[in-house]
A and B are shown apart, each in its own frame.
Chain A
Amino acid sequence: MEKHLLTIDNLKVNFKTYGGEVQAVRGVSFHVDKGETLAIVGESGCGKSVTAQAIMGLIPNPPGRIVDGKIVFEGSDITHLTKKEWMQIRGSKIGMVFQDPMTALNPTMKVGTQIVEGFIRNHQVTREEAQKRAIEMLRLVGIPDPEKRVDQYPHQFSGGMRQRVVIAIALACQPQLVIADEPTTALDVTIQAQILDLLRRLQEEQELSVVIITHDLGVVSEIAHRMVVMYAGIVVETGTVEDVFAAPRHPYTWGLMRSLPRIDGEEKQRLVPIDGTPPDLFNPPKGCPFAARCDYAMEICNQQMPEISTFEPGHQAACWLHDPRAPRIEELVAAGRQGE
């Protein structure tokens, strides 16, 4: 256990609402090693952002609360820390990059000040040193003319530049782990390419661990080493990006891959959508949450949560089809490959 930088074990998060209690995350487990990029993929409402918020201690309580499970970072349990204890970790050990760089930045503060805010709190430095550090960070994330830019305000930056500033803030205290929640979703594709390139370069240079939350399988394959596929608050499949793309084992992963058009594809094929919609998490089904939309659902799928099957080392899926008692498994796996 100790060798992982971050371990999430059976995490459960609920939110109280007027309509009842939503079970947003229902028993999620995964780990992140030093120097690797892990992608969490899934559709809106699958619990991927809530999982990220839990890692950063940002679950608003109330209405949210961690009802079960453990988050272990660098060997110590960080599941239930006080506000003060979180201040020691957030920024200095775990950096954060949010989706919308406009709302993540303070519009009334110079970007330089925002970059070194956490750095000044954690280190005894003079103003000149702090300013130097801010310029250095801007240069690191590829902002031209950093000496001038450091004293400007967020509205003087474009969307892509703002996201670079947010990344500079996340990295200012040299954290071991960066959590990036949909860091490129609000950006145009040519700017997205720049930001992904930057994240990849920084990750390698600084030996960072990165958790990237995204709904875009293209982004996953560009940047991540391993991936976790979430659906309705649970992890349905996890493995290295190569393994999962080459032989996806969960029908939901098959569905996701088949529903995407390929830009480099030759012939026009009809898209294969996943029919139906995700289940209601106020009252989640007691069996596999994907059963209602799954073409291969069996009786057991509606009755009981599937057990986890392991294929390659680290490649796991939670699906009854991989139970030794399930019928015609090889054919189904082959069917999953057809969609590529």
Chain B
Amino acid sequence: MKDSLVEVNNLKKHFHIGNGQLLKAVDGVTFSIRQGETLGLVGESGCGKSTLGRTIIRLYENTDGEVLYKGKNVHRLKGKEAGQFNRDVQMIFQDPQASLNPRMTVEDIIAEGLDIHGLARGMRRERVTELLQLVGLRKEHASRFPHEFSGGQRQRIGIARALAVEPEFIIADEPISALDVSIQAQVVNLLEDLQAERGLTYLFIAHDLSMVKHISTRIGVMYLGKMVELATSNELYKLPLHPYTQALLSSVPVPDPTVKRERIILQGDLPSPANRPSGCGFRTRCPKATERCALEEPVWKEAEAGHWVACHLYD
């Protein structure tokens, strides 16, 4: 595809979980991320969205398939190219408490990447100050430790650390889930401003569908290790095709008591990814499932221009 920065082709990540069992956390996912866009990734816990993000950034080795970054297979990178990839692609984590080393000062946390990549020699302090100001913190904060900050401020430190090495592509794994609503909006606005200023590309992983819709250009929906639907954010919310997406969207509580919506309440729970149903993974909870869904796995196809779905209803 044109302009795509990242191409993910049939990517699989399986984990051995003992007793000879295999957990297929990510099981054959294909999509691409375009230069400058925000791709949102939604799904419930255990659907593999975080594993997917971590496999793309090489925190995990892939089991099968490939991830191409600017046309190069990221799991084959070596030496200088690997170093450049580690600089170009950064990650922001969910829990800013757990992802910042409590024994390091903010300055050392932010400058760690700079030191490793040998950037900013002799102007370390200036760069740190600049980055702090960029994310809305002050110069004096550089000498403090993570515990001296609030949750929202810590997430800003995490963002400053990611930005220090001037990345092109940022994977944000639930960056606002641990924050209060009034603080979430601050961080989301910051991410949007930084994208506009620096032409960043984001992979934004979250389970809060309203926020994902707000920030994303396109959205991918995952269920049990597979992507079930991918479309532009407006189209996905207006015309969701997959029954899972429809149920997911109708489950989101709308903060407006005057709106009465038709609600699809799914029966049952998410099956364990270690014990995936045959055929379509969603068939056990799908209100529209037929016999065919148990026998055949639906193919990932483009139902309408730019709108991908994996469901037998659209064959």
Contact = CB atoms under 8 A, between A and B. Distances in A.
A259 B186 CA distance: 9
Contacts of B213: 261, 263
Given A193-B263, A216-B253, A217-B255, A261 B210 contact: yes
Interface in B241-266: 247-259, 261, 263, 265-266
Contacts of B75: none
Interface of B: 44-45, 150, 152-153, 180-186, 188-189, 192, 207, 209-211, 213-214, 237, 247-259, 261, 263, 265-266, 269-270
Contacts of B181: 43, 215, 217, 256, 259-260
Interface of A: 43-44, 158-161, 188-194, 196-197, 215-222, 241-242, 245-246, 255-257, 259-264, 268, 270-275, 277, 340
Nearest to A266: B234
Given A189-B251, A261-B211, A261-B213, A242 B237 contact: no
A99 B300 CA distance: 38
B215 to A, nearest CB: 8
Given A189-B248, A263-B252, A277-B152, 12 more contacts: A158-B270, A161-B269, A190-B247, A193-B266, A246-B258, A260-B185, A261-B214, A263-B210, A264-B261, A273-B184, A274-B182, A277-B183
By CB atoms of chain B within 10 A, which of A220, A222, A257, A261 has the most? Answer: A261
A47 to B, nearest CB: 14
B131 to A, nearest CB: 20
Contacts of A241: 257
A259 B185 contact: yes
A273 B251 contact: no
Nearest to A244: B257
A233 B211 CA distance: 28
Contacts of A264: 237, 254, 259, 261
B256 A268 contact: no
By CB atoms of chain A within 10 A, which of B181, B183, B269 has the most? Answer: B181
A190 B214 contact: no
Contact of B254 (A192, A221, A271, A275): A221
A260 B213 CA distance: 12
A273 B182 contact: yes
B180 A215 contact: yes
23 contacts: A188-B207, A190-B44, A190-B247, A190-B248, A193-B266, A197-B265, A217-B181, A218-B210, A218-B255, A221-B255, A221-B256, A242-B257, A242-B258, A259-B185, A261-B211, A262-B255, A262-B256, A263-B254, A264-B261, A272-B185, A273-B189, A274-B186, A340-B256
Nearest to A218: B253
Nearest to B261: A264
Contact of B249 (A43, A192, A217, A263): A263
A271 B191 CA distance: 12
Contacts of A340: 256
Contact of A277 (B150, B214, B237): B150
Contact of A245 (B44, B180, B258, B270): B258
Contacts of B269: 158-161, 191
A218 B253 CA distance: 4
Contacts of A272: 185
Contact of A263 (B182, B237, B270): B237
The 3 closest A-B pairs by CB, nearest first: A218-B253, A261-B214, A273-B185
Contacts of A277: 150, 152-153, 183
B270 A271 contact: no
Contacts of B263: 193, 197
A262 B185 CA distance: 12
A263 B207 contact: no
Given A160-B269, A189-B44, A215-B180, A220 B207 contact: no
A219 B45 CA distance: 19
Contacts of A190: 44, 247-248, 251, 265-266
